[in-house]
């Protein structure tokens, strides 16, 4: 058999596990890279990895690598392959295309079309017949990865992601992928525990993913054995005899392994979820081998005859399941259950917020980083023994600050540089307060991580009184938490003195690295709104319930520009948030406004903002997924026309209320194109994004007149950060 260059992809942080797995399959020539492992082997080796890998996503067989400096280079590179060696003219194929740091092609949809055209043109020229496109189960799936000027062309032997084992029927709320579950089990030493007949319990088993992956590992059950489709099945070079041999071998190993399974049990409080888990267990042919029943977390105790082993689970993170308080209480109860019933066991769980692990009251080993989709998580591993137990203190933001202040004396405050921070803040305040007064600005930024040790943003809001909003940037993991607490305490001691406010007028939030639409996530339930004024507009702000206050201060210039240009115009505000831009347009004399946002909370906020201001005109509010609304409205025969449009989408969103995952870099072309379709003649679209690595695809938007106005839309109080946002003025070409 010929030797091929192969590449196995895997989620970030699982590369080492995948490399170890490939070594266990007898593969020696391996090289781990970011999100994957390169290796070499014959077709049998490739098939074996497809069948047995528990941690890989896809297995790619490299056909060629070539230089791409232009679109034509990509087309020629694809046509250099004789595709008749791989498919017949009447077969089907699909293309996956991705690019990184490429100047030639940065639109993945366009790249995929170019690859498709090259294959179709070659086959049509030779056979007067073209293969069809099938995105579900094509005869072959082609993968192109363009990095810089180097393209790698591969066949995707897996066909669809290998995490899809074939036993899952129903997607329940917040499921985890099967290869992540396998990674958790491998990292916790489950194979060794299973060999010693240790018990496995998942007390929050959900749809049973951890239970089934544990059973498959313990039973020597190949994870690909249930799948009826792989990417090589319809490939002309497929060796069916070799594949059948490997499957028969795997069936025999499974039959032997199932006979020696240790006890594997799962509990869940939700009746429907238990039924789903039982259905998945039956699909895998493991009924009567894996036990599941309905139990609350407090009752998730092992039978006295069960040998101690591993308790493992994927509890709610507080990201998508439950409120923050509910999640915190759950972890506290969980910790009490572990201490009461599982002494002598090992335990593990994956969480996104390490603070929740603290709530358990059990010291853990060094956490292991894993990713649940795009969400960075920590795998906590615990030995349940009395020497590891402790009573967790309250760890709310306010408690954290109070505790830090209790242990930090005046002398210590000076040692951590509080005087330097106070001097810098005072200097900034004097400068920006004078500037704000000259320009009639009531809300502005006075400090933005000017000193690296004090990584916070400080904004002043002036209304019926003065408020100070502090956002602490999440410190790097290398920073000692105690030192970070000391500095935060020192900062909070100085801010009221320098800015001449009381402690009650100062609000603190932790701004972590943004995931999804964090600025829209609720932080509290206080419901206290305050009125500020900007450019003659009254607007409501909230300092406690949300990460952001309801008013993006860096967008002040673009709001004022909209207000200046809005007279007698029809204005459309997309991803409108709290509708502040709509208020400015209305106060500028817009004859009609349309405000679109997916959140009912923010549509209501926008209406309340408008109600504070006396204005004329017709005002429409639409609660809808902006992407879907735009796509539908842009195609209408009698679509509405707007003279002025403001488009400020999030960087990323996977909200359950949206039909698709949204990524500003990948999706901005269709978004801008659809928005521009609603422009009246000579109308202007203002498009803005705060994604720092964003690159606008001018080539794909060649029919539009696009002018970069970023510099003139960044206000003086944000000038220290020229990448706070990007902004363009867009018009249809005449």
Mean pLDDT of 231-250: 97
Shared-domain flag, residues 460 and 551 = no
Shared-domain flag, residues 378 and 415 = no
Shared-domain flag, residues 339 and 408 = no
Shared-domain flag, residues 111 and 133 = yes
260 φ, ψ (degrees, to nearest 5): -115, 25
**The residue to which tokens 């949206």 are assigned:** 658
Cα–Cα distance list, 461 to 62, 456, 556, 699 (Å): 58, 16, 13, 42
Give 166-193 pLDDT, tens digit per residue.
999 856 555 789 999 999 999 999 999 9
**Assigned domain for 244 exists:** no
Shared-domain flag, residues 371 and 467 = no
Q: Of the ranges 64-73, 211-220, 472-481, 489-498, which one carries the lowest mean pLDDT score?
A: 472-481
Q: Which two tokens stand for residue 412?
A: 């210590």
Give 402-448 pLDDT, tens digit per residue.
444 444 434 344 444 688 899 999 999 999 999 999 999 999 999 99
**Assigned domain for 272 exists:** yes
pLDDT of residue 343: 96
Q: What is the CATH number of the domain that holds 700?
A: 3.40.50.150
Strand partners, 468: 460, 506
d(CA 466, CA 487): 24
Indicate the pLDDT class of residue 615, thresholds 50, 70 and 90: confident
Q: Which two tokens stand for residue 191?
A: 């194979």
**Assigned domain for 525 exists:** no
Shared-domain flag, residues 78 and 36 = yes
Q: Which two tokens stand for residue 403?
A: 């505790």
pLDDT of residue 682: 94
Q: Of the ranges 80-84, 265-269, 545-549, 604-608, which one carries the lowest mean pLDDT score?
A: 545-549
In terms of pTM, does the model score above 0.75?
A: no
Shared-domain flag, residues 451 and 494 = yes
Q: What is the DSSP letter of 221?
A: -
Query: Is the pLDDT higher at 669 or at 316?
Result: 669
**Assigned domain for 56 exists:** yes
**Assigned domain for 527 exists:** no
pLDDT of residue 492: 87
pLDDT of residue 412: 45
Q: What is the CATH number of the domain that holds 430?
A: 3.30.750.80
**Assigned domain for 526 exists:** no
Q: Which two tokens stand for residue 667?
A: 């999706």
Which of these, 646, 635, 705, 727, lies nearest to 677 by C-alpha position? 635
Encode 489-515 in three state secondary structure: HHHHHHHHHHHCCCHHHEEEEEECCCC
Q: Is the pLDDT of residue 519 over 80?
A: no
Indicate the pLDDT class of residue 330, thresholds 50, 70 and 90: confident
Give 150-159 pLDDT, tens digit per residue.
999 999 999 9
pLDDT of residue 239: 97
CA triplet 696, 697, 702: central angle to 5 degrees? 120
Shared-domain flag, residues 149 and 88 = yes
Shared-domain flag, residues 191 and 128 = no
Q: Is the pLDDT of residue 381 over 90?
A: yes
Give 103-121 pLDDT, tens digit per residue.
899 888 899 999 999 999 9
d(CA 371, CA 710): 34
Which of these, 81, 32, 86, 85, lies nearest to 55 by C-alpha position? 32
Q: Of the ranges 166-175, 222-231, 457-466, 688-697, which one carries the lowest mean pLDDT score?
A: 166-175
d(CA 40, CA 207): 36
Q: Is the pLDDT of residue 320 over 50?
A: no
Q: How many domains are there within the chain?
A: 4
Q: What is the CATH number of the domain that holds 129?
A: 3.30.2130.30
**DSSP secondary structure string, 162-177?**
TT--S------SS---
d(CA 594, CA 612): 18
Q: Last residue of a domain, which of 156, 188, 206?
A: 156
Shared-domain flag, residues 328 and 195 = yes
**Assigned domain for 163 exists:** no
Provide CB contacts within 8 A for 80, sequence distance 6+.
64, 66
Q: Is the pLDDT of residue 548 over 60?
A: yes
Q: Last residue of a domain, which of 388, 418, 453?
A: 388
**Assigned domain for 523 exists:** no
Q: Is the pLDDT of residue 474 over 80?
A: no
Share of the chain above pLDDT 90, in %: 73
d(CA 318, CA 397): 16
Which of these, 32, 82, 38, lies nearest to 60 by C-alpha position? 38
Q: Is the pLDDT of residue 323 over 60?
A: no
| Residue numbers of the domain that contains 692 | 537-732
Indicate the pLDDT class of residue 612, thresholds 50, 70 and 90: very high
Shared-domain flag, residues 382 and 471 = no
Indicate the pLDDT class of residue 1, thresholds 50, 70 and 90: confident
Give 55-81 pLDDT, tens digit per residue.
999 999 999 999 999 999 999 999 999
Cα–Cα distance list, 690 to 606, 650, 727 (Å): 21, 8, 9
Shared-domain flag, residues 213 and 361 = yes
**In terms of C-beta distances under 8 Å and separation of at least 24 residues, what long-range contacts does 720-727 make, across chains too?**
720/448, 720/450, 721/448, 723/692, 724/554, 724/690, 725/554, 725/555, 725/688, 725/689, 725/690, 726/688, 726/689, 726/690, 726/691, 726/694, 726/696, 727/558, 727/686, 727/687, 727/688
């Amino acid at each position: 058999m010929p030797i091929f260059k192969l590449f196995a992809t895997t989620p970030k942080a699982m590369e080492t596990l995948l490399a170890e797995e490939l070594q266990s399959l007898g593969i020696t020539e391996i090289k781990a890279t970011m999100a994957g492992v390169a290796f070499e082997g014959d077709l049998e080796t490739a098939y074996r990895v497809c069948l047995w890998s528990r941690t890989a996503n896809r297995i790619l067989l490299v056909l060629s690598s070539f230089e791409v400096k232009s679109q034509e280079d990509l087309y020629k590179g694809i046509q250099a392959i004789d595709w008749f060696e791989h498919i017949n003219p009447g077969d089907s194929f699909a293309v996956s295309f991705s690019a990184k740091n490429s100047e030639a092609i940065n639109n993945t949809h366009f790249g995929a079309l170019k690859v498709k055209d090259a294959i179709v043109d070659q086959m049509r020229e030779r056979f007067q017949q073209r293969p069809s496109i099938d995105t579900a189960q094509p005869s072959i799936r082609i993968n192109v990865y363009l990095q810089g000027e180097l393209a790698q062309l591969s066949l995707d032997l897996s066909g669809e992601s290998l995490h899809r084992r074939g036993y899952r029927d129903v997607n329940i709320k917040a499921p985890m992928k099967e290869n992540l579950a396998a990674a958790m089990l491998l990292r916790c030493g489950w194979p060794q525990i299973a060999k010693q007949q240790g018990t496995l319990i998942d007390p929050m088993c959900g749809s049973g993913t951890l239970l089934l992956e544990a059973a498959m590992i313990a039973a020597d059950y190949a994870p690909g054995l249930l799948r009826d489709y792989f990417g090589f099945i319809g490939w002309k070079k497929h060796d069916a005899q070799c594949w059948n041999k490997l499957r028969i071998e795997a069936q025999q190993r499974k039959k032997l392994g199932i006979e020696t399974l240790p006890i594997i049990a799962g509990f869940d409080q939700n009746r429907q979820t238990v039924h789903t888990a039982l259905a998945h267990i039956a699909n895998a042919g493991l009924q009567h081998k894996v036990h599941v029943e309905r139990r609350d977390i407090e009752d998730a105790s092992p039978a006295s005859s069960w040998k101690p082993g591993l308790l493992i689970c994927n509890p709610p993170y507080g990201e998508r399941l439950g409120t923050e308080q509910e999640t915190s209480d759950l972890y506290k109860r969980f910790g009490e259950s572990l201490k009461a019933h599982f002494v002598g066991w090992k335990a593990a769980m994956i969480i996104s917020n390490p603070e929740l692990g603290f709530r358990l009251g059990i010291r853990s080993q060094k956490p292991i980083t894993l990713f649940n989709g795009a969400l960075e998580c920590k795998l906590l591993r615990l030995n349940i023994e009395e020497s590891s137990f402790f009573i967790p203190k309250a760890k709310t933001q306010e408690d954290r600050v109070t505790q830090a202040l209790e242990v930090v004396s005046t002398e210590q405050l000076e040692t951590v540089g509080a005087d330097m921070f106070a001097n810098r803040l005072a200097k900034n305040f004097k400068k920006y307060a004078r500037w704000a007064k000259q320009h009639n600005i009531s809300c502005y930024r006075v400090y933005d991580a000017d000193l690296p040790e004090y990584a916070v943003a400080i904004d002043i809001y002036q209304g019926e009184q003065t408020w100070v909003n502090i956002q602490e940037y999440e410190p790097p993991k290398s920073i000692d938490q105690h030192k970070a607490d000391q500095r935060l305490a020192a900062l909070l001691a100085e801010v009221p003195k320098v800015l001449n406010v009381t402690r009650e007028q100062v609000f603190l939030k932790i701004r972590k690295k943004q995931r999804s639409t964090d600025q829209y996530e609720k932080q509290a339930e206080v419901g206290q709104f305050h009125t500020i004024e900007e450019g003659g507009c009254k607007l409501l702000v909230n300092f406690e319930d949300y990460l952001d206050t309801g008013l993006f201060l860096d967008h002040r210039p673009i709001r004022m520009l909209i207000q200046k240009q809005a007279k007698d115009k029809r204005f459309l505000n997309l991803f409108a948030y709290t509708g502040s831009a709509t208020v400015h347009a209305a106060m500028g004399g817009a004859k009609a406004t349309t405000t679109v946002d997916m959140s009912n909370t923010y549509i209501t906020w926008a209406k309340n903002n408008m109600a504070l201001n006396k204005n004329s005109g017709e005002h429409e509010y639409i609660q809808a997924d902006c992407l879907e609304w735009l796509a539908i409205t842009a195609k209408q025969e009698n679509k509405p026309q707007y003279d002025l449009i403001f488009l400020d989408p999030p960087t990323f969103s996977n909200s359950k209320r949206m039909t698709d995952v949204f990524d500003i870099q990948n999706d901005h072309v269709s978004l801008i194109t659809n928005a521009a379709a609603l422009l009246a003649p000579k109308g202007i679209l203002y498009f803005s994004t705060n994604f720092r690595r964003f690159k606008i695809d001018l080539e794909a938007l060649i029919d539009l007149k696009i002018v970069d106005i970023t510099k003139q839309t960044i206000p003086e109080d944000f000038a220290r950060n020229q990448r706070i946002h990007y902004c363009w003025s867009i018009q249809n070409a005449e």
